[in-house]
Chain A
C-alpha cells in the first residue's frame, strides 16, 4: 500500500474504526509501521478528534423554553376557533354516530307505533266530524221542512 491510498483510508474509515475488512486493516497497519509521514497524520487526526470529544454540552437559557411555550400557545389560542371546529368534526361524528343512530331509530320506531295506533281513530273522527258538520251546516239554514231554521231561545233568535 502506498501513502496516497493509505491516507485515503486513514482520514476516514481507519481513524473512525470502520474498517471491517481484516486484510485492508492489516495493510494499513503494515504501512503505518513503516511510514512516519502517515503515522504523523494518524497522530494529528487522533489529537484533533480527542479535542472535539471533550467539548462541553450546552444548555439553552430558561427563557428559550418560555418563548417556545408562548409561541406555541398563542397561535393555538388565536387560531383555536376554526382549528378546533375543523378538528372536532371528524372526532365528534366518530364518537356520536352510534348514539345518534340509536336515538334516531328509537324515535322513528315510536313515531311509527304512535301513528299506527292513531290511524283508525283519526279516520273515524274525521268522518264523524265531517258528517256532524255537514248536518249542522245543512240544519243551520234549513229546519228540514224547506223553511228557515226555528230557534228556540230569544237570544238565539235575536243574534242569529
Chain B
C-alpha cells in the first residue's frame, strides 16, 4: 500500500495547503480508481473523490497514526463509494446503467487508440464487477486491483480475517459462475 510521511500529514492537519496538495497527488489516483471500480460511474467517482478529500482535510486533526494513513483513506473511500453506489442504485431502481460509460467513450472525439483500449478494459471489468454484491466487489477491488493482503483488507473493511477469506471465496465463486455463463472472462 502507498503511504506518506507523518510530517506531511501533520503539516496538512495544521492547514498547510501545499502539504495537503502532496497528499492529494499521492492518493488521488487510488481514491478515484477505487471509487470508479465500485460505482462504475465517472461522475460518481469524481464526487466520491471530492468528498473523500474534503472529509480527510476536516478529519486530519483526529488521525492518531494508529493505523497506516492509506488504510484510513481506503476505509473512507470504500464507505463513500459504496454509499454512493447504493444511492444511485436506489434512484435507478436497483439497476446501474453501465452502457452510459460505453456511450460516452464512443462519443469521445479524438480519443486515442490506447485510451479506447483502457476504457474498454475498464468497462469490461466494471461490467463483471457490477454483477457482484457491494460486499464482494469491495473484496475483489481491494485484493485484485489494489493488491491489499488479507490483514490490510480486514482493517479497511473492519471485519475479521476469516470473514475476508469467506467473502473473497464467495466473490471468486460468483465471478467464476458469471464468466462460465457469459462464455469467458479470460483477461477480462
Partners in one complex: yes
Chain B residues at the A interface, C-beta cutoff of 8 Å: 15, 17, 20-21, 24, 28-33, 36-37, 45-46, 49-50, 53-54, 57, 118, 121-122, 125, 140, 143-145, 150, 165, 168-169, 172-173, 175-176, 179, 185-188
Name the distance in Å between A90's Cβ and chain B's nearest Cβ.
14
Check A154 for interface membership: any CB of B closer than 8 A: no
Chain B contact residues, majority secondary structure: helix
Name the distance in Å between A109's Cβ and chain B's nearest Cβ.
39
Chain A residues at the B interface, C-beta cutoff of 8 Å: 8, 11-13, 15-16, 18, 41, 44-45, 47-61, 63-65, 67-69, 71-73, 76
Given A16-B150, A67-B50, A69-B17: A54 in contact with B187 (beta carbons within 8 A)? yes
Q: Which residues of A contact B57 (CB under 8 A)?
A: 68, 72
Q: Which residues of B contact A12 (CB under 8 A)?
A: 165, 168-169, 172
Q: By the criterion CB–CB under 8 Å, are B28 and A65 in contact?
A: yes
Given A8-B169, A48-B176: A59 in contact with B28 (beta carbons within 8 A)? yes
Task: Please measure, in the bound complex, the distance between the C-alpha atom of A16 and the C-alpha atom of B185, giving whole angstroms.
Answer: 19
Q: By the criterion CB–CB under 8 Å, are B150 and A52 in contact?
A: no
